[in-house]
Structure 1
Amino acid sequence: MTDSTKTLCPYCGVGCGLEVSPPAQPGKATNRDSQGNPIWQVRGDRAHPSSKGMVCVKGATVSESLDKSRLKYPMMRDSLDEPFRRVSWDEALDRIVNHLQTVRFTYGPSAICMYGSGQFQTEDYYVAQKLLKGCLGTNNFDANSRLCMSSAVAGYIQSFGSDGPPCCYDDLEETDCAFLIGTNTAECHPIIFNRLAKYHKKNRKVKMVVVDPRRTDTAAKADLHLAIKPGTDIDLFNGIAHLLMRWGAIDTYFIDECTKDFPAYAEIIQHYPPELVARRCGIRLDDLEKAARYWAEADKVLSLWSMGLNQSSEGTAKVRTLINLHLMTAQIGKPGCGPFSLTGQPNAMGGREAGGLANLLPGYRQVKNPQHRAEVERFWGLPSGRIPSENGLNAWEMITGLETGDVQFLWVAATNPAVSMPDINRTKAALLKSPFTVYQEAYYPTETAAYAHVLLPAKQWSEKTGIMTNSERRVTLCPAFHQPPGEARADWEVLAEVGRRLGFTEEFAFASSADVYAEFVQLTRGQLCDMTGLSHEFLAKYGPQQWPFPEGSEPTTESKRLYTDWRFKTADGRARFGAFHSRGLAEPPDSDYPFVLTTGRLYGHWHTQTRTGRIEKITKMHPNPFLEVHPRDASKLGVEDGCLVEVRSRRGLSRLPVKVTKAIAPGTVFVPMHWGELWAQDAEANALTHPESCPYSKQPELKACAVQIVPVTAELDSLPAEEKLTPVNKLLSLVVGASES
């Protein structure tokens, strides 16, 4: 193969277009990685409307991990104390199907769970929904998007009647005021931040406000940085609303004609005068007023947020309170404005479209809506009532279900919960109790592999053809161009084969991923996310398209905004205000645990390093974990740069070197979330975090917990280390040659 392939970056939700060429180019030397594998050449696709040819270090180096540490063959073991043995696909699938049937008819479908991933392509997501929610009759499919964007989903649904970000990336270059809250966009979504930063630099009248307890690279470019105390976002939003009301800077026509429930909200914000809000948030009064003035004076306000709002015990309330500001000022449905959730993963949007959470069904439908269930049952040819009327178990409920014995079969795919879940010591203990765990993954080893009974080798990005949707609702075809290692299979192929072996032969008679997608889009007909005009063939011919794209639509690179007519997807067409008081953190600091720990990503790494930890350039860029501490706190603790400290919460501890920096607010500390047991000892951020979650979205508060910090003294260091042989240590002792044997 000599031609380049156009595809999508498999990392964050920006969804940058990539152009990938084979290693051996005429007249050029073949680049090779440190293990001698030829490296595919990656550059930005200039024709992709989302990224316009730009690419970050993760996208530029993604091909360097394709041939490293891959799981190549199915493997099994009878207990977690035994080594894996290589088996055939037939042996592995027979064992899975037999165990599924035993659990299904002994304990019922509710004892079966699957935990998927925003790394799935849309076809993978869709086949999983059809298998579990349709054929098996359990809504127990959840994805790591639960830890990422579920508060944004709930906020959009409650405010607008439907999920779906109303904005697009072109709004970055048309806004008068960009309001970034709980997002380190420069590091976590670098390409769209580059677009915004260039526009901001050229247009000095454009204002950028960044709300973040840390002075990140994003905050450094802002006209105004509000370093609020963690957990005070709602105070801030209600305080801005109070000032907008006081100044008369609201759109009464829009409020009267296009919204509902404003009086209850107006009553709430009366309790948030600026003096009180500034004190609660820990910011200057004039900075609060400046932020409100920027919003009031702008014709077009664009807000952007990510995990800082979503990963909270009041995540949905935070999202809705931010949306309230847009509703009271009619900042929606026009170029350059609107509430814009930045998706964390490459196909988290596609997962939402396909129904890939425990409370969703394909086509932006809700499990609890009887009409929605009936529509999907008719389309799938199922008897009425097959899809349960209650939401399935979410990600954390699967963990607690393992503790109680209610979960008897756990299937994990394309994610690494043994690092990424909250309260990781409790999570690992629950995984040890699992009667039967299937783990479907491209790489080996990972931390979660230590808890599996069956390992299934999965094709990853570049090795399978499918669809991904980015944060601005742009749908891109990702063709296969790289030969998968060993016997790896696409996730949807594995799921469909299991379905057929369970007896659902007609339901899973797909010959290709194009067939899967063609069926899926029919369930979007008439919905906000209508994609009936799209197919693999259409996207291959015309390139990425933004939905809605109903049948008969013409291809275009122009942006499509939602709610341009100011009619929403509610029963009466009106958007809803949400009235919320601030409740603060689920676990506030106290005398025993006086610091607030917050967590986040670094520019080069991705999630739990399953891919980036195997790329030399990135590991050199971010070699070790660390703890950011403000100089004032460091002085009180008696620590300096590089000192080792023990960070303790009520659930566990981590040992980390200190990074003293004024970029973090006093009283708050920061640790990156990427390091699991495979990459560093006692450095897991989620050894500290708690599982308390938003009551609406069920998204855990991974962004904040109370901790104490104890310097690791020579005496403490010289104490005999506890002999601990964790499941991951055991796995590593057995891993050499295991995937080849």
Structure 2
Amino acid sequence: MSTPIKTLCPYCGVGCGLEVIPTDNSQSSSPAPPLPCSPASYKVRGDRSHPSSQGMVCVKGATVVEAIDRDRLLYPMWRESLDQEFQRISWEEAFQKIVDRIRLVQGAIGRDGICVYGSGQFLTEDYYTAQKLVKGCLGTNNFDANSRLCMSSAVSGYVQSLGSDGPPCCYDDLELTDCAFIVGSNAAECHPIAFNRFRKHHKRNPNVKLIVVDPRRTETAEAADLHLPIRPGTDIDLFNGMAYLLKQWGADQPKFIDRHTSSFAEFEEVIQHYSPQVTADRCGITVEQLEQAARMWAESDQVLSLWSMGMNQSSEGTAKVRSLINLHLLTGQIGKPGAGPFSLTGQPNAMGGREAGGLSHLLPGYRFVKSDWHRVEVERAWKLPAGSISPDPGRTVWDMITGLETGDVGLVWIAATNPIVSLPDLERSKAALRRSPFTVYQEAYYPTETAAYAHLLLPACQWSEKTGTMTNSERRVTLCPAFRPAPGEAKPDWEIFAEVGRRLGFTEQFAFQSAAEVHAEFVQLTRDRVCDMTGISHDRLQRSGPLQYPLAEGQSNGTPRLYTDLRFPTPDGRARFGAYYSRGLAEPPDEDFPYVLTTGRLYGHWHTQTRTGRIEKIRQMYPNPFIEIHPRDAAQLEVNEGEWVEIRSRRGMARFPAKVTRAIAPGTLFVPMHWGELWADQAEANALTHPTACPDSKQPELKACAVQIIPIRQESQSDQALSEVVTEALLQLAEN
């Protein structure tokens, strides 16, 4: 059998190591045929030498090769308008169309009429090259990524509380903690391998406690010593109420607070208003449950908190993150093994994107576009004239949508993501993209829902076909080598961005010959930053395996934990308390829309099914979408298990079969977010959600919106089909 190829799973932010083993009939060294290397050419197993996953792998990682050749986009495709069919064109023609359009928009609208929307599925080299092109050479900060929908509140919370982005913890802490406090994360399904590491530790040590905060009784909550099913939107109330008790019981650490933090007095004033009864009433839990959670925290020597979308995807996302970090600062639970605030990133390289500056307010190396000195540093590194980088934060992805509505955006370039399923207020998003005068869509698969809104399709290489790095949730960088030829004429994303840059005249800036050269340039912009990676290179990763940053040039080992000296990268070296009262949901339930809908992920699926929807084993695991309804609500509605219901919000509607379960709290509903129109009819969760976002992180509140339920009682399937035909006919008559 061939030597295993060590790589990284391209799904969630856990960043599990994989070994891919070519079988005897593998064509991995042959020239690229139109559809090379069937999945039967490879076997996949967990890499036992990878320090993050230790040989474990979930169903997504185990089946990843089964989708790499299915429904691939093979050639550049073009059409003048959305009502035409795509026609194959050459790369030469495709590049010329992009360059011509960029120049046209620059002249007619200005540089801010150009927008690029990327993805946490990018390699770091893809991310970095795009930043150099868009923010440096084109002079607009209008590069955003789907991490805006995923992790931007964590970024904002870390920066405001601790002085810099970057999770301060590591996965070893999962096996050292006395108490894991998981909030807004169904880690057992969404980050299963990281959760498995903690769960083994939890089972071996009866003194170790697990607290899970979630409106749903998820698989994660099933494993908890204490489950707090709080009302959606009451996270800040809970944290402030716990802080009230910790302070009252003398579980705070006055010496730590005095020496290593600031703004404590303002925080102390806020928590005085969160007595146990007030907190319990707001959260919808009992005083005994609140006290039990606070007692578990107080009696633990090492407390590790973990969170994900349930915290971040909120109009109070940054405030929630900071309020959780407050508990760590109050009790000194940071900068030591087994303790600290640990954001679980959602995507495989969301961390790499943050390091490379892949959001519209960031620059590489954890820098900010608003900082005069940060812009100067990057301009010098990129050999660009002073003032090339705009001082104004660029458009977030939602700002791109509104810019299309107003005509202020003349070019949208989407890459490695599927916003026609993942964006909030989906009907409005679709209408805006239909108005786009020129949309480029750079993707590995075809069809996807977003492809229907594109003028130019660019075939991109995916995992296994291009070389580069990814950074996981514990700041560990892994090299992902290309081990098979690309299908058709697909190109790596970084090469596409670089070629456009050269054709626009920036030949010196894009003289890269390999991804290793891109990486070598990028890490120089991390020097002396919290994310210092000057000691990491493709060659070193190839020899040593994954490495954790900070790792400066000349250092032999990476850094498992940040802030162990209790000095923080703020002007005074102190971490900052944040004082917040909860405002609650941006769209609370009312008489017309009496339920709160929350959304989430399932164990086997990944985002919008672009890859997992093409894997038969996973499709059999989850053949259909569904909606979870508490038995009390189902009884009031006279809805039984499996019966269809229509869900309506102020923005749209969807239909699902009911799953009646006590795993969801009364008054709250849950639907998975994976199904777009390619995979099911009228089952788009984001047809219902709203775009109201956190004012600091600009992350939309995808986790909660107000809805109503209408049982579908007597319509047969044929009746439904007839109704849809009649509706379509009436719409056509109205248009005529």
TM bin, normalised by shorter chain, reads over 0.9
Matched, 1:371 2:373: yes
Residue equivalent to 1:333: 335
Matched, 1:302 2:304: yes
Residue 721 of structure 1, CA deviation: 2.2
Residue 90 of structure 1, CA deviation: 0.3
Residue equivalent to 1:519: 521
CA distance 1:348–1:714, change in 2 (3 Å): same
Aligned partner of 1:215: which letter?
R
Residue 106 of structure 1, CA deviation: 1.7
The answer to whether the 8 A contact 1:40-1:64 is kept is: no
Residue equivalent to 1:729: none
Q: How does 1:231-246 map to 2 (within 5 A)?
A: 231-246=233-248
Matched, 1:608 2:608: yes
Q: How does 1:575-724 map to 2 (within 5 A)?
A: 575-714=575-714, 718=719, 720-723=722-725
Residue 378 of structure 1, CA deviation: 1.1
Residue equivalent to 1:200: 202
The answer to whether the 8 A contact 1:423-1:687 is kept is: yes
Q: Give the aligned length.
A: 717
What per-residue deviation string (whole Å, max 9, x for no partner) do you get for residues 638-688 of structure 1? 011110000000000001000000100000000000000000000000000
The answer to whether the 8 A contact 1:533-1:551 is kept is: yes
Structure 2 portions without partners, runs of 5+:
27-34, 729-736
CA distance in 2, matches of 1:715, 1:73: 44
Q: How does 1:144-163 map to 2 (within 5 A)?
A: 144-163=146-165
Residue 482 of structure 1, CA deviation: 1.4
The answer to whether the 8 A contact 2:306-2:344 is kept is: yes
What per-residue deviation string (whole Å, max 9, x for no partner) do you get for residues 382-426 of structure 1? 111111111000011101111011111000000000000000000
The answer to whether the 8 A contact 1:39-1:63 is kept is: no
CA distance in 1, matches of 2:520, 2:121: 20
Residue 25 of structure 1, CA deviation: 7.2
Residue 724 of structure 1, CA deviation: 9.3
CA distance in 2, matches of 1:520, 1:433: 36
Cα RMSD for the two superposed structures: 1.5
Matched, 1:52 2:64: no
Residue 38 of structure 1, CA deviation: 2.3
CA distance in 2, matches of 1:212, 1:665: 9
Residue equivalent to 1:168: 170
Question: Which 4+ runs in 1 deviate beyond 6 A?
Answer: none
CA distance in 2, matches of 1:10, 1:55: 12
CA distance in 1, matches of 2:388, 2:189: 44
What per-residue deviation string (whole Å, max 9, x for no partner) do you get for residues 513-535 of structure 1? 00000000000001000000111
Residue 713 of structure 1, CA deviation: 2.1
Q: How does 1:380-459 map to 2 (within 5 A)?
A: 380-459=382-461
Residue equivalent to 2:31: none
Residue equivalent to 2:541: 539
Aligned partner of 1:650: which letter?
R
Aligned partner of 1:474: which letter?
R
CA distance 1:5–1:87, change in 2 (3 Å): same
What per-residue deviation string (whole Å, max 9, x for no partner) do you get for residues 232-281 of structure 1? 00000000000011111100011000000000000000000010110110
CA distance in 2, matches of 1:535, 1:466: 10
Matched, 1:114 2:116: yes
Residue 725 of structure 1, CA deviation: 11
CA distance in 1, matches of 2:725, 2:572: 63
Aligned partner of 1:571: which letter?
P
CA distance in 2, matches of 1:372, 1:574: 22
- Which range is displaced more, 711-720 or 145-154? 711-720
What per-residue deviation string (whole Å, max 9, x for no partner) do you get for residues 407-466 of structure 1? 110000000000000000000000000000000000000000000000000000000000
Aligned partner of 1:543: which letter?
G
Aligned partner of 1:297: which letter?
E
Residue 560 of structure 1, CA deviation: 1.3
The answer to whether the 8 A contact 1:39-1:64 is kept is: no
The answer to whether the 8 A contact 2:38-2:69 is kept is: no
Residue 716 of structure 1, CA deviation: 8.7
CA distance in 2, matches of 1:516, 1:379: 13
Residue equivalent to 2:224: 222
Residue equivalent to 1:70: 72
Aligned partner of 2:402: which letter?
T
CA distance in 2, matches of 1:80, 1:722: 23
What per-residue deviation string (whole Å, max 9, x for no partner) do you get for residues 324-349 of structure 1? 00001110000000000000000000
CA distance 1:266–1:620, change in 2 (3 Å): same
What per-residue deviation string (whole Å, max 9, x for no partner) do you get for residues 446-492 of structure 1? 00000000000000000000000000000000000011110000000
Residue 37 of structure 1, CA deviation: 5.2
Residue 39 of structure 1, CA deviation: 4.6
Residue equivalent to 2:573: 573
Residue 722 of structure 1, CA deviation: 3.5
TM-score by length of 1: 0.95
CA distance 1:667–1:3, change in 2 (3 Å): same
CA distance in 1, matches of 2:133, 2:197: 41
Residue equivalent to 1:500: 502
Aligned-residue identity in percent: 70
What per-residue deviation string (whole Å, max 9, x for no partner) do you get for residues 157-199 of structure 1? 0001100000000000000000000000000000010001110
Structure 1 portions without partners, runs of 5+:
27-32, 727-741
Aligned partner of 1:623: which letter?
P
Matched, 1:40 2:48: no
Q: 3-state SS of the aligned residue for 1:599?
A: strand
Matched, 1:274 2:271: no
CA distance in 2, matches of 1:568, 1:622: 45
Aligned partner of 2:414: which letter?
V
Out of 465, 468, 481, the position equivalent to 2:467 is 465
